């Protein structure tokens, strides 16, 4: 884990947090400084949309079970108010850490005091921990995703994979697939240039190659992929799958990072074609365990 790296100063980034006007700060602080006592450790999920998130129930159940005086709440931020609300959050009483989800995993970086080694490479933060008064960014998506691939390693080793999406979580997914032995990762994204930039990030990767895919080649690429991962937000609101039924076969693994709804159209199609389907809940739980370790609330020996 990279906490040690950071404390040695290897990956430390210059402090970038600046105070906004006192007026703005006190106005926005009110929303995060609720009536709860300072002794309570406070954690949040930052993102938009997040109303569907199961994170508060997962963490609050853990706190209750282990008699930890802590609470985890949603902190929804719409794009125009991002800076103001993040600054309020960083100065809130009792805050010990927070998670970051769509669409802010990259944008949060400039507000943090330091980054772990994984983040320096992946440019994506999904977990922030307050350590000696400083906010340090980590990426636990990669470890969480990789852990859930364990059961499928033999089926994907040396094979091709298709990743749909090139947003905040996508670099962690690509890295996880390569670490699991996938030979070629193809990335399709609605905005093609983002897929190109993601592939560029992995240009020195020795374990396998990462290539962007154009719309014209998408369905053929899907057919020849051992695993297809939906790392887009398509399906959160019941949207149709990006990949049509005809490109899916039994023997393939369809992995949707979305867990609510439990079964997206993408997974429904996969099931009807006899593919193995996995939703995002195991990954959410696996990365939650990593986050709890970073926050010092769970030991390695608790695994």
Position 170 contacts ligand NAP (CB under 6 A): yes
Q: Considering 85, 105, 293, 298, which one is annotated as catalytic?
A: 105
Position 258 contacts ligand NAP (CB under 6 A): yes
261 burial type by CB count under 10 A (0-12 exposed, 13-18 middle, 19+ buried): middle
Sole binder of ligand NAP in the list 228, 278, 284, 297 (CB under 6 A): 284
Site for ligand NAP in 118-147 (CB under 6 A): 141, 144
85 catalytic? Reply is no
Strand ranges for the chain from DSSP E: 41-47, 70-76, 95-100, 114-115, 127-131, 134-138, 160-164, 184-188, 209-213, 227-230, 253-256, 276-278
Do 219 and 247 touch, CB atoms closer than 8 A?
yes
Which range, of 22-30, 115-123, 190-198, 204-212, touches ligand NAP by CB under 6 A? Answer: 190-198
Position 298 contacts ligand NAP (CB under 6 A): no
Region of residue 133 (left: phi > 0; alpha: psi -120 to 50; beta: else): left
Which C-beta is closer to ligand NAP: that of 94 or that of 225?
225
In whole angstroms, give the CA distance from residue 244 to residue 80: 35
Position 168 contacts ligand NAP (CB under 6 A): yes
Our measurement of the distance from residue 179's CA atom to the centroid of its chain's CA atoms, rounded to an integer in Å, reads 17
End-to-end CA distance of the chain: 15
Which C-beta is closer to ligand NAP: that of 105 or that of 175?
105
Instruction: Residue 110: name the closest of 97, 118, 119, 101 by CA.
Output: 119
Position 94 contacts ligand NAP (CB under 6 A): no
- Give the shortest CB-185-to-ligand NAP separation in angstroms: 15
Instruction: List residues binding ligand NAP (CB under 6 A).
Output: 101-103, 105, 141, 144, 165-170, 189-191, 194, 231-234, 236, 257-259, 280, 283-284, 287
Residues labelled as active-site residues: 105
């Amino acid at each position: 884990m990279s906490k040690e790296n950071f404390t040695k100063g290897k990956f430390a980034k210059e402090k970038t947090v600046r105070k906004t006007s006192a007026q703005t700060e006190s106005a926005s602080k009110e929303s995060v400084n609720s009536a709860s006592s300072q002794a309570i450790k406070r954690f949040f999920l930052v993102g938009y949309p997040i109303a569907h998130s199961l994170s508060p129930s997962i963490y609050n159940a853990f706190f209750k079970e282990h008699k930890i005086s802590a609470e985890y709440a949603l902190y929804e931020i719409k794009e125009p108010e991002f800076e103001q609300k993040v600054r309020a959050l960083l100065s809130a009483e009792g805050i010990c850490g927070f998670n970051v989800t769509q669409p802010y995993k990259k944008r949060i970086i400039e507000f943090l005091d330091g980054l772990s080694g994984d983040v320096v490479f992946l440019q994506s933060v999904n977990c922030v921990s307050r350590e000696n008064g400083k906010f340090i960014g980590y990426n636990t998506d990669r470890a969480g995703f990789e852990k859930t691939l364990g059961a499928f390693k033999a089926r994907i080793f040396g094979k091709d994979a298709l990743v749909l999406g090139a947003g905040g979580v996508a670099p962690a997914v690509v890295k996880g697939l390569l670490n699991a032995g996938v030979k070629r990762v193809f990335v399709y994204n609605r905005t093609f240039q983002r897929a190109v930039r993601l592939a560029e990030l992995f240009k020195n990767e020795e374990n396998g190659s990462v290539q962007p895919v154009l719309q014209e080649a998408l369905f053929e690429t899907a057919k020849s992929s051992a695993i297809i991962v939906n790392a887009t937000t398509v399906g959160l609101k019941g949207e149709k799958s990006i990949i049509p039924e005809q490109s899916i076969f039994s023997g393939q693994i369809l992995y949707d990072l979305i867990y609510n709804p439990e079964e997206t159209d993408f997974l429904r199609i996969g099931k009807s074609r006899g593919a193995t389907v996995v939703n995002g809940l195991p990954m959410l739980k696996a990365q939650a365990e990593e986050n709890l370790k970073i926050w010092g609330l769970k030991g390695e020996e608790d695994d």
